[in-house]
Amino acid sequence: MSLVIRGNKISRRIFARQGSLAVAAGVVMPLPLTSLRPAPKERLALYQEESARGIVCRICPNECVLKEGELSDCRNRIVRNSKLYTMAFGNPCAVNIDPVEKKPLYHFLPGSSSFSLATAGCNFACLNCQNWTISQTSPDKTKNYDLPPGEVVANAAINNCRSIAYTYSEPVTFYEYVYETSRLAREKGIRNIMVSNGYINNEPLKELCRFIDAANIDLKSFSDSTYLKLTGGKLQPVLDTLKTYRDEGVWLEITYLVVPGWTDKPDEIRMMCRWLTGNGFADTPLHFSRFHPEYKLEHLPPTPAAILNTAASIAHEAGLKHVYVGNLPGAGHSNTVCPSCGQKVVERSGFTIVSNSLKSGRCSCGASINGVWS
């Protein structure tokens, strides 16, 4: 039986009254017991290689080397009988219908709905993770839906979702599930969205780009030292990912979470913005996001509004044309403005489109606004 979702609620015919997955402000809530189904069996993983020390996973720069029975850093790949298997295929622990603006994507099919899902696991260990209850565990420890790729696509279509978003945890770690689902979605004319940390090797990324239409990449910092301490990863692979998405023609938007004491330094923000404009990303929307105390950084305060406003000013001064501030209601940083004439062309209130005056992606002044508008 297909998972049927109407509006934003999973049908009571299958689930209990409270059976829909609540995802508010990007935070994933636990699934109710009544929504459980048996998880599919493990699948042979892509991009694996034998070595004298064990099986090497080549999906991401962590390149875990695993012996029999060992789990990868992302907690959803395991070696069985000298082969690497993914434990994250067709068994999402998070399923919801979101406005595409929540990804956030402001220049991609505005006002449309996106069928959004995630499995357990992440190849980072971010101290500030909002969804740590699913990102820092494995699929055998979460409550999961039985939702193979074909059913994901069918339910996206049934619910008039113009896209499927691989989000909430880290889709790079459930690569095989993303790949098969996005391939089927492309055949049905449904777009595919990656909401990711961008920590992926170039070969699997380029293969995936055949079916991905848009991506929002979390650029966690512009400091190698901060990247290591905050996430356990490195900066350069993420910068390489941005360039690959650009070169492969995938619509790209970037999110930078401003964490007090960690990623709020004006000089580093300025370096990042200058790098973006100097590498062909001047038209790429940049979303500065407000930090809320969470996980291992719950002792920190929320990001002061003044710092977010300073970050936005730095980005504009560096030549970025579309700069937004998230999680700061009433600040006026969520509207799309024509860089040529200054006219407000898309007005937003939260995740809702209030008005959209664009005609075929153009302002009334005739200027073209970069994006995927239809």
Q: Enter the pTM of the model.
A: 0.91
Q: Is there a single domain that holds both residue 155 and residue 226?
A: yes
Q: Where are the beta strands (DSSP E) in 186-240?
A: 191-196, 214-218
The H or E element containing residue 185 is: helix 175-187
Percent residues over pLDDT 90 in the chain: 87
Closest to 95 in 3D by CA, of 33, 146, 132: 146
- Residue 223 gets which letter from DSSP? -
| 159 half-sphere exposure, CB direction, 13 A CA radius | 29
SS3 32: coil
227 in a structural domain: yes
pLDDT at 289 over 70: yes
Q: Is there a single domain that holds both residue 22 and residue 49?
A: no
Per-residue confidence (pLDDT) for residue 1, from 0 to 100: 32
147 in a structural domain: yes
Per-residue confidence (pLDDT) for residue 15, from 0 to 100: 32
362 in a structural domain: no
Domain final residue pick, 86, 119, 146: 86
SS3 135: helix
- Answer yes or no: are the C-beta atoms of 75 and 62 closer than 8 Å: no
Contacts of 342 (CB under 8 A, 6+ apart): none
Q: Which pLDDT tens digit goes with each residue over 299-356?
A: 999 999 999 999 999 999 999 999 999 888 766 689 999 999 999 999 999 999 999 9
Q: Which pLDDT tens digit goes with each residue over 34-85?
A: 455 555 578 999 999 999 999 999 999 999 999 999 999 999 999 999 999 9
pLDDT (average), residues 344-373? 96
Q: Is there a single domain that holds both residue 302 and residue 239?
A: yes
Q: Which pLDDT tens digit goes with each residue over 155-203?
A: 999 999 999 999 999 999 999 999 999 999 999 999 999 999 999 999 9
Q: Is there a single domain that holds both residue 24 and residue 60?
A: no
Count the neighbouring beta carbons within 10 Å of the beta carbon of residue 342: 9
Q: Is there a single domain that holds both residue 74 and residue 180?
A: no
pLDDT at 23 over 80: no
Lowest mean pLDDT among 2-16, 169-183, 208-222, 312-326: 2-16
Count the neighbouring beta carbons within 10 Å of the beta carbon of residue 355: 11
Q: What is the CATH number of the domain that holds 183?
A: 3.20.20.70
Which single residue is written with the structure tokens 């449309």? 112
Q: What is the mean pLDDT of the chain?
A: 90
The H or E element containing residue 181 is: helix 175-187
Q: Is there a single domain that holds both residue 179 and residue 276?
A: yes
- Rounded CA separation 288/271 (Å): 15
Q: Which domain holds residue 14?
A: 5-35
Structural domain count, the chain:
3
Q: Is there a single domain that holds both residue 140 and residue 237?
A: yes
Please say whether the dihedral angle defined by the alpha carbons of residues 105, 106, 108 and 110, taken in this order, is positive or negative: positive
pLDDT at 280 over 60: yes
SS3 355: strand
184 in a structural domain: yes
Q: Is there a single domain that holds both residue 296 and residue 330?
A: yes
Q: Is there a single domain that holds both residue 245 and residue 271?
A: yes
Confidence class for position 31, pLDDT limits 50, 70, 90:
very low
Per-residue confidence (pLDDT) for residue 326, from 0 to 100: 87
Contacts of 41 (CB under 8 A, 6+ apart): none
